[in-house]
Amino acid sequence: MEEATSWLERISGKIEIENLNPSWIMFNDGFRRNTSFIVLRRLFSIAISLVGWIVVAPLIPLIMLAIRLDSEGPASYAQTRTARVGASL
């Protein structure tokens, strides 16, 4: 048996806020993902990340060189962290 809110949402594409129960949100099919979808989404994210890294990695030394030529000091910056009372971490 289907709830009236689910039926109305399926037919009209809209949700009636006045009749919406928290249980409808929690048990709605939109939150159920099958394992193959989760694995596929993860593999897609990893693939996009790898492509991004391959594109950006050759530029990092060039950016470091440009920073080194443009300003004094190292291209990367390290900072000593201190606690609220002044003790080093």
- pLDDT the model gives residue 73: 75
**Could you read off the pLDDT of 19-57 as tens digits, one per residue?**
677 776 777 766 667 889 889 999 999 999 999 999 999
- pLDDT the model gives residue 1: 47
Which tops the pLDDT comparison, 27 or 63?
63
Structural domain includes residue 55 = yes
- pLDDT the model gives residue 12: 82
Band of the pLDDT at 77, cuts 50, 70, 90? confident
Structural domain includes residue 87 = no
The upper half-sphere exposure of residue 68, i.e. CA atoms within 13 Å in the direction of its Cβ, equals: 9
- pLDDT the model gives residue 86: 63
Query: Whole-model pTM?
Result: 0.46
Total count of domains within the chain: 1
What phi and psi, each to the nearest 5 degrees, are found at residue 82? -125, 150
